[in-house]
Chain A
């Protein structure tokens, strides 16, 4: 398994995710946004942060970066793409995932641990969550309020493309366990071929017991199982 983390000006979780990939024995390389071609990769990671300062609209300028053409080609070939936080916002802006990410409903930045229910573990990112469907991960964002029209939402549900939903400790999914106002409590979604995952929570931040949890580890362990 070889991965490439794309570094945009303003990315700030690039190192964190590289540390996680290395810890779970995935061979990783950092790729500067201005490169024109992607080195050989099985997995492309779009990290969290504030690419281009989040100016104009989160993820929008990054989605026009030079490397993105090759990232799209990689997606088309069925290559894996993981977008975390700002990476999810970039995936939406590139059109690789549907919907939009609005400002949080309370119009405030939100940094806290949240509970998530793994809705779909039949994909290459989440297979290890089969035996643990309620997990805890941190969120840290200002624009994570997932919104889409009813047609898209229905399609996401019918095709089982919702990867994670916000829930409470016991797995209850309702308004009280929704931190940012996302439609259907959506925290992460897959594309139709399930080779692309976009998610607001940060799995790379909880991969060690000393950091109060390791529920993020299972995502990287799912990925490193793939030959």
Chain B
């Protein structure tokens, strides 16, 4: 078949990129070869627009065992244990087909973890939907949540939360970011780099079907009015097979049969075989007649580009094939020797005794295009709206509006659809500052959180990105953990537009500054561009997955108030920054102005001091102050602990509204028993940490002078009805 410009275009390749292919090969590619290039050179697989900037992220410290570049990153958590984790996007498929898109997103990230020899111990998600008033939102929300649950529940990995957000910026481009964490012994880690010539290349798992062909290319383009037609590019997941694949791989990994292993994720057999061979500076030869196919008459093109799920590629030590086959046979999975490693440094494909493709691996990987795209700096946001006349908005009414809004309401409706307690090690379930999972058979635990603040990032990408990293760090401190490292999922619009590219560049800068300062490196991640429909791009949305270690679970902290009569203290200075706050957004419908500034010195100093107090066992509860400000954070502590509070606010230069709803950063709320008050103060003063006592806990009512006095039961009700009302589910069944 003659390759026409039209065919090149349909493969998502630009004219100059096609010219580069011809010059690299010294000939025109055939259709199969063109398909392979399109799978490897698309944005999703090649990171061609982002690579230049991703290289600048801090990716190392003395805890990091593996940084970016493998299936997932790995950190040391002492006693020979290591944690493997990564976050990945499945935005485009989830918009086209929410259930399968979200389900296979979970499946894909889990395979990234167990490919490295780690048993997955937790999953989390960051999911963003359009305005709740958009007619598509309800169906998408329902589909995504049941897809995440349907896959994760079946495999039996606890889902310990994450975030669910709504904003009209996602009306035509929802975000589904899935994160998984696994546990592995430091000396039992597996990598994707192939070693040795003439080693058998093995295909295991599900059969290959025609689903997901060109999935990665689809995820590297904008949507238009015909996006519905892209449904066949979405993969169909089977969590049951994934569970069998997990157990079979774990069984095979007990000895030293495996030289290297790579899951078939985006771009399926193509990217897995190319990555394994090129990382090992080898060649690879595959006989496509050996591929287990689900359908008849599949062509080499379809086999190489299918994104059928639950498949793995292995390179085994010679002579281990029989024993390995027995294991996969026991679990009822396909096992096929499809080729071997070679010294040619080429990818060679045979079908029906003919060579159907022969490509130098370097052309597909190291020689893939890298772009230095034009970008422009975001303009400094101005405060158009002045903060006056706030008095006409009653504090209690404002609080009620915020608590009842979709973004701030309790998310149990979502979390209860995810199994959060399977594996018997879940110490903190969804709803706290971080989820906490105990390391099996030990008294230590891992704290995990996912965060994003897209409206801050839209107003100022640099400050917003710093803030998200800091919020993640703060959430880990709040449960008593030592933050270790992050994984990031960078969701943006079309990078070919200078404005979007600028948002990306500044976001990377913000993440870099905060991660460097906090010694909180980025060890894995994913970039999702082209979240854009009909020229409208989403707000820049970096989602940060943070992981921390709790060395002794007896020192773990929670946010719920524990008893009445304790002092309530705000750690950190309250300046009353209301622009971009929930109060401005939800109550006043004001969306202009800058996000709150981030002072990295205060962030670190306040956080480390709070951690010291937690370790000394002189705090009863800790909660980070984030969206909604002091009053929302305090209400959450009351509801969680079924304990009230009597407030006495030390307002001096700012108004009560600014004090209670301002979203200044680096702050925490802590609960202290009378007997510990002096010691806490002493330590805070010694560390030059700003603090203020704002009242005491009391029985079942929240009250503030003459402003209001309301029962915790009522606040809880206001906070917990939104989802039930949205899906018209009354209290009774």
Q: Which residues of A contact B (CB under 8 A)?
A: 9-10, 12-13, 15-16, 19-20, 48-50, 52-55, 105-106, 108-112, 138, 140, 142, 175-176, 178, 181, 202, 204-205, 207, 210-212
Interchain nearest-CB distance for B149 vs A (Å): 5
Pair A53/B438 contact, Cβ less than 8 Å:
no
Q: How far is the CA of A199 from the CA of B683 in the complex (A)?
A: 51
Chain B positions 136 through 177: 1 when the CB is less than 8 Å from some CB of chain A, otherwise 0: 000000000010011001111000000000000000000000
Which one of A12, A55, A110, A176 contacts B417 once the chains associate, using CB atoms below 8 Å?
A: A110
Interchain nearest-CB distance for B142 vs A (Å): 9
Q: How far is the CA of A142 from the CA of B151 in the complex (A)?
A: 13
Pair A106/B424 contact, Cβ less than 8 Å:
no
Pair A13/B421 contact, Cβ less than 8 Å:
no
In the complex, which residues of chain B have a beta carbon less than 8 angstroms from the beta carbon of A207? 424
Which one of B155, B331, B731 contacts A9 once the chains associate, using CB atoms below 8 Å?
A: B331
Q: Residue B422 at the A interface, CB < 8 A?
A: yes
Pair A106/B733 contact, Cβ less than 8 Å:
yes
Name which residue of chain A comes closest to B424, CB basis. A16
Q: How far is the CA of A110 from the CA of B156 in the complex (A)?
A: 14
Q: Can you pick out 5 interface pairs between chain A and chain B where the beta carbons lie within 8 Å of each other?
A: A10-B243, A20-B424, A53-B240, A210-B438, A211-B425
Q: Residue B244 at the A interface, CB < 8 A?
A: yes
Which one of A53, A111, A175, A212 contacts B154 once the chains associate, using CB atoms below 8 Å?
A: A53
* Known contacts A9-B244, A50-B240, A210-B553; A109/B423 CB under 8 A: no
Pair B424/A12 contact, Cβ less than 8 Å:
no
In the complex, which residues of chain A have a beta carbon less than 8 angstroms from the beta carbon of B203? none
In the complex, which residues of chain B have a beta carbon less than 8 angstroms from the beta carbon of A49? 156
Q: How far is the CA of A111 from the CA of B416 in the complex (A)?
A: 5
Interchain nearest-CB distance for B558 vs A (Å): 10
Most buried by A among B149, B241, B419: B419
Pair B422/A13 contact, Cβ less than 8 Å:
yes
Pair A176/B732 contact, Cβ less than 8 Å:
yes
Pair B244/A140 contact, Cβ less than 8 Å:
no
Q: How far is the CA of A9 from the CA of B729 in the complex (A)?
A: 35
Q: Residue B427 at the A interface, CB < 8 A?
A: yes
Pair B146/A108 contact, Cβ less than 8 Å:
yes
Instruction: Report the interface size for chain B: residues with CB under 8 A from the other chain.
Output: 36
Pair B332/A205 contact, Cβ less than 8 Å:
no
In the complex, which residues of chain A have a beta carbon less than 8 angstroms from the beta carbon of B733? 105-106, 175, 178, 181
Q: How far is the CA of A171 from the CA of B553 in the complex (A)?
A: 32
Which one of B146, B238, B331, B420 contacts A53 once the chains associate, using CB atoms below 8 Å?
A: B238
Name which residue of chain A comes closest to B149, CB basis. A109
Q: Residue B192 at the A interface, CB < 8 A?
A: no
Interchain nearest-CB distance for A195 vs B (Å): 26
Name which residue of chain A comes closest to B413, CB basis. A108
Pair B417/A140 contact, Cβ less than 8 Å:
no
Name which residue of chain A comes closest to B441, CB basis. A19
In the complex, which residues of chain A have a beta carbon less than 8 angstroms from the beta carbon of B332? 9
Q: How far is the CA of A50 from the CA of B155 in the complex (A)?
A: 8
Interchain nearest-CB distance for B159 vs A (Å): 8
In the complex, which residues of chain B have a beta carbon less than 8 angstroms from the beta carbon of A212? 427
Q: Residue B464 at the A interface, CB < 8 A?
A: no
Leading 8 A-B pairs by shortest Cβ distance: A12-B156, A53-B240, A140-B419, A16-B424, A50-B154, A111-B419, A138-B421, A109-B417
Pair B238/A205 contact, Cβ less than 8 Å:
no
* Known contacts A140-B153, A210-B553; A175/B732 CB under 8 A: yes
Q: How far is the CA of A52 from the CA of B219 in the complex (A)?
A: 32
- Known A12-B156, A55-B240, A178-B733; 11 more pairs at CB < 8 Å: A13-B422, A19-B424, A50-B156, A50-B239, A106-B729, A109-B149, A109-B418, A202-B421, A205-B422, A210-B553, A211-B427
Chain B positions 236 through 277: 1 when the CB is less than 8 Å from some CB of chain A, otherwise 0: 001111011000000000000000000000000000000000
Q: How far is the CA of A45 from the CA of B623 in the complex (A)?
A: 41
Interchain nearest-CB distance for B182 vs A (Å): 15
Q: Which residues of B contact A (CB under 8 A)?
A: 146, 149-150, 153-156, 238-241, 243-244, 331-332, 412, 415-427, 438, 443, 553, 729, 731-733
In the complex, which residues of chain A have a beta carbon less than 8 angstroms from the beta carbon of B417? 108-111
Q: How far is the CA of A211 from the CA of B243 in the complex (A)?
A: 25
Pair A12/B155 contact, Cβ less than 8 Å:
yes
Pair A16/B240 contact, Cβ less than 8 Å:
no
Pair A110/B154 contact, Cβ less than 8 Å:
no
In the complex, which residues of chain B have a beta carbon less than 8 angstroms from the beta carbon of A111? 153, 415-421
Q: How far is the CA of A69 from the CA of B425 in the complex (A)?
A: 34
* Known contacts A106-B729, A112-B416, A178-B733; A10/B422 CB under 8 A: no
Name which residue of chain B comes closest to A111, CB basis. B419
In the complex, which residues of chain B have a beta carbon less than 8 angstroms from the beta carbon of A210? 427, 438, 443, 553
In the complex, which residues of chain A have a beta carbon less than 8 angstroms from the beta carbon of B729? 106
Interchain nearest-CB distance for B420 vs A (Å): 6
In the complex, which residues of chain B have a beta carbon less than 8 angstroms from the beta carbon of A106? 729, 733
Interchain nearest-CB distance for B731 vs A (Å): 7
Pair A109/B331 contact, Cβ less than 8 Å:
no
Q: How far is the CA of A49 from the CA of B246 in the complex (A)?
A: 15
In the complex, which residues of chain B have a beta carbon less than 8 angstroms from the beta carbon of A176? 731-732
Pair B553/A205 contact, Cβ less than 8 Å:
no
Interchain nearest-CB distance for B236 vs A (Å): 13
Which one of A52, A204, A205 contacts B240 once the chains associate, using CB atoms below 8 Å?
A: A52
Pair A13/B149 contact, Cβ less than 8 Å:
no
In the complex, which residues of chain B have a beta carbon less than 8 angstroms from the beta carbon of A52? 240
Interchain nearest-CB distance for A216 vs B (Å): 9
Pair B240/A211 contact, Cβ less than 8 Å:
no
* Known contacts A105-B733, A109-B149; A16/B239 CB under 8 A: no
In the complex, which residues of chain A have a beta carbon less than 8 angstroms from the beta carbon of B422? 12-13, 16, 48, 140, 205
Interchain nearest-CB distance for B546 vs A (Å): 22
Which one of B154, B419, B426 contacts A211 once the chains associate, using CB atoms below 8 Å?
A: B426
Q: How far is the CA of A211 from the CA of B241 in the complex (A)?
A: 30
Pair A211/B149 contact, Cβ less than 8 Å:
no
Interchain nearest-CB distance for B340 vs A (Å): 31
Name which residue of chain B comes closest to A13, CB basis. B422
Q: How far is the CA of A9 from the CA of B247 in the complex (A)?
A: 9
Interchain nearest-CB distance for B253 vs A (Å): 16
In the complex, which residues of chain B have a beta carbon less than 8 angstroms from the beta carbon of A204? 424
Q: How far is the CA of A19 from the CA of B427 in the complex (A)?
A: 17
In the complex, which residues of chain B have a beta carbon less than 8 angstroms from the beta carbon of A175? 732-733
Most buried by A among B153, B155, B241, B331: B153
Q: How far is the CA of A109 from the CA of B151 in the complex (A)?
A: 12
Interchain nearest-CB distance for A71 vs B (Å): 20
Q: How far is the CA of A52 from the CA of B154 in the complex (A)?
A: 10
Q: How far is the CA of A16 from the CA of B421 in the complex (A)?
A: 10
Pair A10/B240 contact, Cβ less than 8 Å:
yes
Q: How far is the CA of A212 from the CA of B331 in the complex (A)?
A: 35
In the complex, which residues of chain B have a beta carbon less than 8 angstroms from the beta carbon of A105? 733
Name which residue of chain B comes closest to A11, CB basis. B156
Most buried by A among B146, B156, B553: B156
Q: How far is the CA of A108 from the CA of B143 in the complex (A)?
A: 11
Q: How far is the CA of A166 from the CA of B73 in the complex (A)?
A: 43
Name which residue of chain B comes closest to A9, CB basis. B244
In the complex, which residues of chain A have a beta carbon less than 8 angstroms from the beta carbon of B421? 111, 138, 140, 202, 205, 211
Interchain nearest-CB distance for B239 vs A (Å): 7
Name which residue of chain B comes closest to A48, CB basis. B422
Name which residue of chain B comes closest to A216, CB basis. B424
Q: How far is the CA of A210 from the CA of B444 in the complex (A)?
A: 11
Which one of A9, A15, A55, A108 contacts B423 once the chains associate, using CB atoms below 8 Å?
A: A15
Q: How far is the CA of A178 from the CA of B438 in the complex (A)?
A: 30
Q: How far is the CA of A202 from the CA of B421 in the complex (A)?
A: 9
Pair B243/A110 contact, Cβ less than 8 Å:
no
Name which residue of chain B comes closest to A207, CB basis. B424
Interchain nearest-CB distance for B713 vs A (Å): 14
Interchain nearest-CB distance for B426 vs A (Å): 7
Q: How far is the CA of A142 from the CA of B417 in the complex (A)?
A: 9
Name which residue of chain B comes closest to A145, CB basis. B733
In the complex, which residues of chain A have a beta carbon less than 8 angstroms from the beta carbon of B156? 12-13, 49-50
Q: How far is the CA of A200 from the CA of B568 in the complex (A)?
A: 41
Q: How far is the CA of A34 from the CA of B629 in the complex (A)?
A: 58
Interchain nearest-CB distance for B49 vs A (Å): 39
